[in-house]
Amino acid sequence: RLRLVQHHSTGFLWSTSEEKMEERGQWSNKLEFILSVAGSIIGLGNVWRFPYLCYKNGGGAFLIPYLIFLFTCGVPVFFLETALGQYTSEGGITCWRKISPLFEGLGYGTQVIVTLLNFYYIIVLAWGIFYLSFSFSWDLAWSSCNNTWNTENCVEFQRRNISANPTININATSPVIEFWERRALRISPGIDHMGSLNWDLALCLFIAWVMCYFCIWKGVKSTGKVVYFTATFPYVMLAVLLIRGLTLPGAGIGIQFYLYPDLGRLADPQVWMDAGTQIFFSYAICLGSLTALGSYNKYNNNCYRDCMALCFLNSGTSFVAGFAIFSILGFMSYEQNVPISEVAESGPGLAFIAYPRAVSMMPFSPLWAALFFIMIVFLGLDSQFVCVESLATAIVDMYPAVFRRKNRRELFLLAVVLFSFLMGLIMLMEGGMYVFQLFDYYAASGMCLLFMSIFETVCIAWVYGADRFYDNIEDMIGYRPGPYIKYCWLFFTPATCIVSVNKLSSMMKHLGFGYVFDLPHPFSTPPSKIDARKTL
């Protein structure tokens, strides 16, 4: 169609009424893809979840179920999603439309999960930025009881020997816990008391979203350049913290507990479920992000070799991070003269309670605190902006005529960021931690990811055809991968996931944060008590 536009001087000119559609874009080189995927999969779970699970579930023996799930589910699905994106050059929804329109709902499912992840995952970055802002002080705020938020039960102790001090207050709390609960979270008694917004955390969340937006606002053009720093800098920090941890007294105690094998724990089904869920979380599979990142590859890129290298890097990072974390926990155990079981934490409890307490015992504690929280921020930032990028890619690929125009993608991305920021504010209220726990437990639960994995492998292996997809891969990379992955798609991956879903269903527990809240049961008249406060 043509429209009439007025020239700036005289007369009129004919011009097209539709602007030229922008190109989809590609990675400038292989390294940008490698670093982007590495930044996506190597995140907070590698540092604060895998080491604790390894310690809790039998030390070195935990590696047995971990490796079984890795090679039956992790690697095959990781390669499937990456190759699917590269072959179709489409995002997480339209790729399934090309393979089998009947399974397009898989794409919508992954993007629903990613949308929910965008709401709450970045909250951890806000906490990290908040703690980082308190690290630039010689006297760390969580190392003493002389602050306005401390209670009369606050007790400063570097070493604790209860037998030598029988008069110790049984209600004693450490300053690091009071800083976390009373200063950072300002946590309310329960989810039914949401309270007011923590404006300082809201500012930290705003900063986190600004960083995230400008990392991806130009698509792969900006993302490909940013990851040179954001994906590599955490490794520098991890190396520094590892060297520091190994030189501390008591480090050997922690490493012994981390690795000492207890084969008897393998009889516990929970050990196997922990291994499976860790694989799904740490490899970012069934989220559509790998498909989105792979879709920007050149058609003949050797994605098989890339995936094998990335899987090795991811699990290797988790294993090495355990030495950095448990050497510090061993130091804490040594300094406080308590069993390591009393200082070992997982999740936010490690990042915002155990580790801050540890660095407060070290010389030059502000330096180590700052390095640790910088690492936390960058580990989370990569994973976060890749999630947002995968959502944007999926929507833009669905409506290219609408969004692949000048500045429209940037404006759409800005709308996504603003909406996600506003949703995240709920979790920064005084009762927001309970909402965060609900999102963390249900939004991207292991059950959801297992179901997605079952349907993805069934679609590719049985509906589209495993041999047919192998032909597509051969067309891209020039050779057929070994039959092992094909048989995983056909049999081992769906079978493993079905067994895991069945077992998880029988093992599900009430979510909690140490607080019991009455909610009506949907299928009964009397109220059922749901534990809505979980001890970190």
447-485 as b/e, with b when 16 or more CB fall inside 10 Å? ebbbbbbbbbbbbbbeebebeebbebbeebbeeebeeeb
Task: Let me know if residue 9 belongs to a domain.
Answer: no
Instruction: Indicate whether 14 pLDDT > 80.
Output: no
CB contact at 8 A, 196 and 429? yes
Any known ligand binding at 248?
no
148-168 mean pLDDT:
67
Alpha-carbon distance of 71 to 74, in angstroms, equals: 6
Any known ligand binding at 282?
yes
Alpha-carbon distance of 404 to 397, in angstroms, equals: 9
Residue in the block written with tokens 């909690």: 512
Output DSSP code: residue 460: I
CB contact at 8 A, 207 and 358? no
162-168 mean pLDDT:
49
274-310 as b/e, with b when 16 or more CB fall inside 10 Å? bbbbbbbbbbbbbbbbbbbbbbbbeeebebbebbeeb
Alpha-carbon distance of 456 to 450, in angstroms, equals: 10
Instruction: Indicate whether 530 pLDDT > 60.
Output: no
Residue 382 CB neighbours (<10 A): 27
Any known ligand binding at 39?
yes
Task: Give residue 363's pLDDT band: very low, low, confident or very high (50, 70, 90).
Answer: confident
Q: How do residues 310-345 score in pLDDT, each as one tens digit?
A: 999 999 999 999 999 999 989 988 888 888 888 877
As for how many domains the chain has, the answer is: 1
Instruction: Indicate whether 163 pLDDT > 90.
Output: no
Task: Find the DSSP H helices in 399-528.
Answer: 400-403, 408-424, 432-442, 446-458, 466-477, 483-487, 493-507
Any known ligand binding at 379?
yes
Task: Let me know if residue 11 belongs to a domain.
Answer: no
Instruction: Indicate whether 519 pLDDT > 70.
Output: no
Question: Could you tell me which residue, 338 or 106, shows the higher pLDDT?
Answer: 106
Output DSSP code: residue 319: H
Burial of 82 by CB count in 10 Å (0-12 exposed, 13-18 middle, 19+ buried)?
A: buried
Task: Let me know if residue 21 belongs to a domain.
Answer: no
Predicted TM-score of the model (pTM): 0.88
- What long-range pairs does 25-32 form, CB within 8 A, spacing at least 24? 25/219, 25/220, 25/221, 25/296, 26/220, 26/296, 26/297, 26/298, 27/220, 27/224, 27/296, 27/297, 27/298, 28/224, 30/301, 30/306, 32/220, 32/223, 32/224, 32/225, 32/227, 32/228
Instruction: Indicate whether 149 pLDDT > 90.
Output: yes
DSSP string of 254-276, one letter each residue: HHHHHH---GGGGG-HHHHHHHH
Task: Let me know if residue 15 belongs to a domain.
Answer: no
Q: What is the pLDDT of residue 500?
A: 92
Using DSSP bridges, classify how beta strands 2-6 and 12-16 pair: parallel, antiparallel or unpaired: antiparallel
217-228 mean pLDDT:
91
For 518, the 3-state DSSP assignment is strand
Q: How do residues 298-312 score in pLDDT, each as one tens digit?
A: 999 999 999 999 999
34-57 mean pLDDT:
91
Kindly report the CATH number assigned to the domain that includes residue 156.
1.10.4160
Alpha-carbon distance of 113 to 443, in angstroms, equals: 6
The four Cα atoms 157, 163, 165, 171 give a dihedral, to 10 degrees, of 70
Q: How do residues 166-222 score in pLDDT, each as one tens digit?
A: 455 666 788 999 999 999 999 999 899 999 999 999 999 999 999 999 999 988 989
Beta partners for 6?
12
449-460 mean pLDDT:
96
Instruction: Indicate whether 293 pLDDT > 70.
Output: yes
The per-residue pLDDT of the chain, averaged, comes to: 87
Any known ligand binding at 150?
no
Q: What is the pLDDT of residue 170?
A: 63
Beta partners for 4?
14
Question: Could you tell me which residue, 377 or 260, shows the higher pLDDT?
Answer: 377
Instruction: Indicate whether 272 pLDDT > 60.
Output: yes
The size of the chain, in residues, is 536
In angstroms, the Cα distances linking 349 to 68, 420, 536 are 28, 25, 5
Burial of 502 by CB count in 10 Å (0-12 exposed, 13-18 middle, 19+ buried)?
A: exposed
Q: What is the pLDDT of residue 158?
A: 56
Any known ligand binding at 382?
yes
Beta partners for 429?
197
266-286 mean pLDDT:
92
157-191 as b/e, with b when 16 or more CB fall inside 10 Å? eeebeeeeeeeeeeeebbbbbbbbbbbbbbbbebb
Q: Cα-flanking dihedrals φ and ψ of residue 518, to 5°?
A: -80, 120
Task: Let me know if residue 301 belongs to a domain.
Answer: yes
Task: Let me know if residue 19 belongs to a domain.
Answer: no
Task: Let me know if residue 148 belongs to a domain.
Answer: yes
Task: Give residue 518's pLDDT band: very low, low, confident or very high (50, 70, 90).
Answer: very low
Q: Cα-flanking dihedrals φ and ψ of residue 130, to 5°?
A: -60, -50
463-489 mean pLDDT:
97
CB contact at 8 A, 357 and 176? yes
- The fraction of the chain above a pLDDT of 70, given in percent, is 88
Task: Give residue 226's pLDDT band: very low, low, confident or very high (50, 70, 90).
Answer: very high
Task: Give residue 228's pLDDT band: very low, low, confident or very high (50, 70, 90).
Answer: very high
Task: Let me know if residue 465 belongs to a domain.
Answer: yes
How many separate helices (H) and strands (E) can be counted in the chain? Answer: 25, 4
Per the structure, the complete domain to which residue 422 belongs is given by 30-161+168-531
Q: How do residues 402-427 score in pLDDT, each as one tens digit?
A: 999 888 999 999 999 999 999 999 99
Q: What is the pLDDT of residue 532?
A: 36
Task: Give residue 513's pLDDT band: very low, low, confident or very high (50, 70, 90).
Answer: low
